[in-house]
Every structure is written in C-alpha cells, then in structure tokens.
Structure 1
C-alpha cells in the first residue's frame, strides 16, 4: 500500500514490483494507492497504470482521498478494500501516519509489515518533537509487544535511528535498503550514444546532469551556484555541458529560470521534461557527473550504477549511498562543492567503470524481495 504512486517513477515501490515479476513469482500482487498525484505535478493516467500492470503483473487499485493533512492522507474504504482481498501479507509504505490508528484495534488475519523512509533532512515539522513523544507513548508499546506489525523495515541508517527515536525496539526492525533493479538500471552504452547525439554532445564533452524533481525541496537551481564557483577555478570549461531533466513545479521554476538566464551565456545548458523511468538509464549513462544539491535521493544510487560519480550534501543517508564520501560537501558550502567538481574532472573520476556497481551490488531489489516473501510464509531472515 502506497499513499502516492506514479507508474512512471523509479521509487522503491515501483522497483520492488518490477523485481517481483523478474523473480517469476506466482504471487498475486496488488498495489492499493490513492488517486492523488499532486506530489508528481500530474493527474492520474489510466493508460499508464494499465501499462505498468501489464509490465509487472501487479494490479493497481486507486481509492479516493477522504481526508488530507499536509502530505498524510486517509483513503476512502482502505481497510475494507484490503479485507475483501483477503491477503497473506500487507506492506504499508511509511510509518507515522493515520494508518497507525489501526494499532488500536485487534490484530488482522493477515501479516502487516511497514517501512520507514524518514531522513533527518526531511523531518522539518515544527511539532516533530511532540510527535515523537506521542508516538512513543501511544503506539510504540503496541508495536513492540504484539504482532500487529510483524516487522518495520529501515531503508537505511538514518531510518533506523528514526525508528529508535520513536521507541521501536531492535527485534521489530529489519533492513530493506534503498537500491536498484538490475533489469531497469544499468550502464547502457547504446543509450549513451543515442542521448548524447540527441543533445549534440560531443565525445569529449563532460556532461553534468541533474535528474529529478524541480521544487523547493530539491532546489536544482543550486547547481548554478556550484558551477559558477567552479568556472572561477577552471581556465578552460568549454567542454562542460549542463543537463537538467525532471517534472517541474510552476512556482519554483521562476527561481530556477532567473539563475538559468544568468548562466546560459556562459555554458551550454539543456532543460528537458521528465522521462519514463524505464528510459532513465540512457540519460544516466549519457551523463558523466551527477549533482543532487539538496537533501537526499534514490537517484544517487541509480546514477552510480550507471557509472556517474555523484556530488551531494554530507548527510548520514548520503554517506551510506554515495560510494566515494569525499564527494560530499557541507550543506550550503558551494565553494567546497565546486572544488569537488574540479577534483572529479581533473582526476578523471567520471570515466565509466564498474567501481560503483561492485560497491552497491548488495542493494539489488531482486535480493530484497525474497525477504518480504519469507515474512509472508512465516519465515524470517
């Protein structure tokens, strides 16, 4: 169960469903989600839902939103829908929302697992400390001392810390780390040629990319601040090209476009629309370096699997995802980020090889789907 779902995205839930099909599972897999697509700046497209169903073998059920507060929602008839399906296991994505109220009722017949994907940089609510105390007081004891939630998966070390903070004990926590699907994300040499030809990038050009959302949380405009400082460090930057791809929030784009106008006379810059998740490997493969200037993102793993060194803020979650921690900069220190960019170029770290793939191979989702299936069968690893 996922509150918000985009069939064209590359989030963990998408990849787990793809991995389930890859493993030739005979399970009946059903995704229950809402008809709210506002986080993706788009509307529900039934054609894309059907295509995803055909590709993965999973069925999508979309429910109306009954109540919404901030990003947390209550879906109409959610648990009645689940009960009618009579499942063996229910995976509720996320924790700390209205669905936790079900803990106050009797244990359902099916196994329930949840996950935690909260990172400290995303935990900004001013009432969060009060919330932590309330969750620990009301819900944590039920979780720890009953089987109403069989397991809660931590998607990383920060998520583990968060679960401990809200009172979840170790015997209830297991890891299901952010990762990738090797049938969808991999270095694609033909795709590299196609995309670089599409944008008229030459063989020697060094393409610096951002592939993700354009909004006030991810702030891809900060890349201009980094690159502007880099230009003062680099005498010859004619080979540097910037590529931005992703869905755009209209209000945010005013800020982005102001910086774009100031920079476009200095460098070749291409800003393109979002692409299908299944095509993203071609764009990562065509890139040489990726910069994600704010917070954290699963895209950092995808970029590295396709051979790109990644520059990001120095957070705990990024320390475990970015293979070379020397490429992490102090948040807000764009001069340091510019120095890292120069180092990567001077030392030719952007030359494609398998170093990142080797380091991240244990995160492949095909290996992780087995853990979920074992829980459904009453086995734990």
Structure 2
C-alpha cells in the first residue's frame, strides 16, 4: 500500500502526532511518504537536511519538502502539492489538519485515492478573534460538501474537544471518527536504567521526589506557575520529602526574561532547581522516568500521556482534553485554582502516589500508534 501524509510544517526531531505515526509504521510493507514545506519558522529553527535523512533512516519513509507558494497567517499552499501526489499514485492520502487551503480540493472532482483529514484544534486553543466568522463560513461552504460526498473518506478527531470542534464546524458525526493522541511503545516506556543515570547526572538522590515540567517555555504553557504551586508549600515540607524541581524544554527568550527568570531567582533559596535545554523526543522517556511527578500548569499537552506511560502522576487544569488524557481525575485542578493544585501535589507526595507502577500503559492501549496505523490501513 502507498500512503502519503501531508503536513504543512514538520520538525523531524519533535514528538508530534505525525512523527509518532510515521515511526509506528516502521517495518511495514507500506510505501510511506511525507510531503511538507521548507518552512521551519514555527519551530524557530532552520531546515536540516541531516535531520531529515536521519528521520528517513529511522522510519523507512521518504520526506518530500516543497516550496511555499502562498502563506496567510500560518496557513500555506504548497507549490506543486497535488501534482506531486499524482506522480506518487497513492492509495491513501492523510492531510493533517482541517480548515486550511487544502480543503479547496473539495471543489474538484473526487480523487482516485482515499483522502482523510484530522483535527488538532480544541476549544482551549481556539481563541482567534475571527473564529466565529470562520465557523460560519466553513459550515455554509465546506461542511455540506464533506457531508454529502465521499471526497473525504473520514475526518479524525484527536480527542473529545476536537470532536466538538468538528461538529461545531457543521461536519456530520457519520463523517467523524477518533484517532486519539497517543504514544509509541517502542519510544515511550518506563526506563529503569535511565532513571538512575539521569538522576545521578542532575545530582538527585534516590530518596528525592523530583517534580518536573517538560515542554515549551512560553506565555501559553506558563511553566513559571509551577513555582507558584511550590511556593504554597512550607519549607519544612519541602525539606522533609526532599522535593526537587526539574525543568526541560525549548525556551522563548522574552518569556524567560520577563516571567520565568524573576520567579526562578525568588525560589532558588527554597528548593533545588534544575533548568535544562530541550532534548530529542526519542530521549524524553529517560527524563520522564527520572521524574516522580509532572505538572503541566496551563492548557493541554500531549506530554501528559507520555509522562503517565513512564509512571508519573500528572497534575493539570481540568479541561475536557485533559480529563480524557489523565488517568487519575482527582489530579485535575480547576482553572487558575493554584491552591487546589498545591493540595493535589501535597496529597500525591504524602500518600506516595508517585511510586512507579506497571499498570498505566494498559489504560492507553487504544492510543498506541501501531494500532492506529492499522486503523488507517483498514480504510482501503
């Protein structure tokens, strides 16, 4: 089978859904291609030919990068996209995302190949001031074609909020299916050996309770809020349970200078803090394994699944997307209620709920990406 993924922006070193789906297909008999752009601006880096080559070697897929013909906000038109697809002659084309220029294919004759789309958008992230106008236009122009033709075989929702988003765009429930955010069990798992080596590298003792934030450092994700949660805990408790903080991820300079840096200086005398750079995605299991508890204080994050797969209780805001991803629902705090977040953290620590267990991965079996690849193949 020949499968093409189309993703406007692609970083081969990241851990997004597209990366993990491509990893999950390794070793199959399928010929898999990824068509994407040369634009790396969303990742704040330049295109690396070597990174592409390494990804191709590790996954067995072929990356094709096209020039950008037109860019409006973050939406782009890839130069020669459909000509390139025709030359490959695929069975299935998976166009990631929806509500972009690729939807213009709906006004053309049905293709010989099956087309599927997906939705990554949730109400938490959908804050554009023109969104209501966009919803209205999509419902009136695009949704009727999607619902009344087979030009799109299926549109996948990556979660419950994404499902709600699609229905609010006017897309019929009969056209929507789930392909939930998940993990690849060849990449994400509890790594006992890595736990010992990483903790030794950072100077953490076996008896320390390491509380981590692993993700982007910016004004949307707000890892500085972890300091506010910890600041509500008495110094005597921090010392008694030997609490430590670990922060890992790519950093937005202005946010670090204006927000995170100031709080870091205030907290340095209260608790040991390690702030490290971002790590390759396929190495992140080592850092989750070395952690005891993970806090993602704002919005939602795919990292919450990865952290739990590696045995960490996760503390997050009580959004629909987080509710479906976090195994222990009483680890969710109401939005901006940091006192509640602190109470949750103290409960986990005092009851030793952070001790590593083996049952968490079993709760996410339906999210394992190799199973999801099989779901895609059955569409043909």
The TM-score range, normalised by the shorter chain, is: over 0.9
The answer as to whether partners of 1:41 and 1:247 remain within 8 angstroms in 2 is no
Secondary structure class of the residue paired with 1:54: helix
Per-residue CA deviation, residues 78-104 of structure 1 (Å, 9 max, x unaligned), is 222222221111101111111112211
Match of 1:279 among 280, 283, 302: 283
Cα offset, 1:247, TM superposition: 1.1
**2:3 alignment partner in structure 1:** none
Q: Deviation at 1:237? A: 5.1
Q: Is the 8 A contact 1:114 1:153 kept in 2?
A: yes
Per-residue deviation at 1:233? 8.6
User: Is the partner of 2:25 in helix, strand or coil?
Assistant: helix
Tell me which of 245, 257, 260 is aligned to 2:261.
Answer: 257
- After superposition, the C-alpha distances for 1:135-181 in whole angstroms (9 at most, x for unaligned) are 01000010011111110011111111111111111211111111100
Deviations 1:205-228 (A, max 9, x none): 011111111112211111111111
| Contact 1:41-1:249 within 8 A present in 2 as well | no
2:16 to 11, 15, 23: 11
- Structure 1 segments of 4+ aligned residues over 6 angstroms from their partners: none
* Corresponding residue for residue 368 of structure 2: 364
Q: 1:99 aligns with which of 91, 98, 102?
A: 102
1:121 aligns with 2:110: no
TM-score normalized by structure 2? 0.96
Q: TM-score, length-normalised on structure 1? A: 0.95
Post-superposition Cα deviations, 1:31-50, rounded to whole Å, max 9, x if no partner, equal 11112222222211111110
Alignment match of 1:136 (pick from 133, 136, 139): 139
Corresponding residue of 2:331: 327
In the alignment, structure 1 segments of 5+ residues that lack a partner are none
C-alpha displacement at 1:65, in angstroms?
A: 2.2
Is the Cα contact below 8 Å between 1:290 and 1:308 reproduced in 2? yes
- How far apart in 2 are the matches of 1:250 and 1:66? 30
Secondary structure at the counterpart of residue 91 of structure 1: strand
- The two structures, once aligned, show a CA RMSD in angstroms of 1.3
Query: Closer, same or farther in 2 for the Cα pair 1:249/1:66, shift >3 Å?
Result: farther
In the alignment, the residues of structure 1 paired with residue 108 and residue 24 of structure 2 have an alpha-carbon distance, to the nearest angstrom, of 33
Q: How far did residue 58 of structure 1 move?
A: 0.6
Query: How many equivalent residue pairs?
Result: 374
